[in-house]
A = this chain, B = another copy of it.
Amino acid sequence: MTKGRLEAFSDGVIAIIITIMVLEIKVPHGSDLMALKPLIPVVISYVLSFIYIGIYWNNHHHMLHAAERIDGSVLWANLYLLFWLSLIPFVTAWMGENHFAPVTMMMYGFIMLMCALAYYILQTRIIAKNGKDSKLSQALGADFKGKASLVLYTLAIGAAFIHEWISAAIYVLVAVMWLIPDKRIEKVIDN
């Protein structure tokens, strides 16, 4: 089984998810700068989710590049990940339009947690198919970032009940953690 179409289909779905989010930034009726003011929380949540989806695409790109073999279970684990990613535009818009209300922040964390779990399952399936000595397995190592994300999302869901800005800070922290270049996979592949 070749991975070409799996990559192409995933690229298509992720490209659409990242782009339809922008449709939630509704064109305002006024034509002055004040007309854009109510859009600020919508744009902020768009930027956050754009970065998250960008991180997923980046990691997905590296992971499948390192994978040498895939099977039917990988196809389904991939679809399961795409399902949770497809709910990001909804929860992003809900959060932005309600100015980061606690329940919407909690729901954002829940969807992010499910995406992270789905990614973990996909990663596990690919390693199972490629072997513990595969390039991918070596590249991931202890997978600190993956595990830390699961913990942090869970904390953010709970923290939304105390104060929504704690959750917000955690979401930004997770994004920054992933944005710091992770040379592991690149290095192992180049060797």
Contact surface of A with B, Cβ cutoff 8 Å: 1-2, 5-9, 11-20, 22-25, 27-28, 31-33, 36, 47, 50, 54, 57-58, 61, 65, 71-73, 75-76, 79, 82-83, 86-87, 89-90, 93-94, 97-98, 101, 103-104, 107, 179, 181-183, 186, 189
Query: Quick check: B75 and A58 within 8 Å, CB to CB?
Result: yes
Query: Quick check: A22 and B186 within 8 Å, CB to CB?
Result: no
Number of copies: 4
Query: Quick check: B104 and A31 within 8 Å, CB to CB?
Result: yes
Q: CA–CA, A16 to B36, complex, Å?
A: 24
Chain A binding surface, main DSSP class: helix
Sort A-B residue pairs by CB-CB distance and give the 4 closest, nearest first.
A12-B15, A31-B101, A31-B98, A16-B19
Query: Quick check: A9 and B97 within 8 Å, CB to CB?
Result: no
Please name all residues of chain B whose beta carbon is closer than 8 Å to the beta carbon of A72 when the two chains form the complex: 58, 181-183, 186
A27 CB, nearest partner CB in chain B, Å: 5
Please name all residues of chain B whose beta carbon is closer than 8 Å to the beta carbon of A107 when the two chains form the complex: 36
Query: Quick check: B7 and A5 within 8 Å, CB to CB?
Result: yes
A106 CB, nearest partner CB in chain B, Å: 9
Query: Quick check: A76 and B58 within 8 Å, CB to CB?
Result: yes
Q: CA–CA, A177 to B16, complex, Å?
A: 29
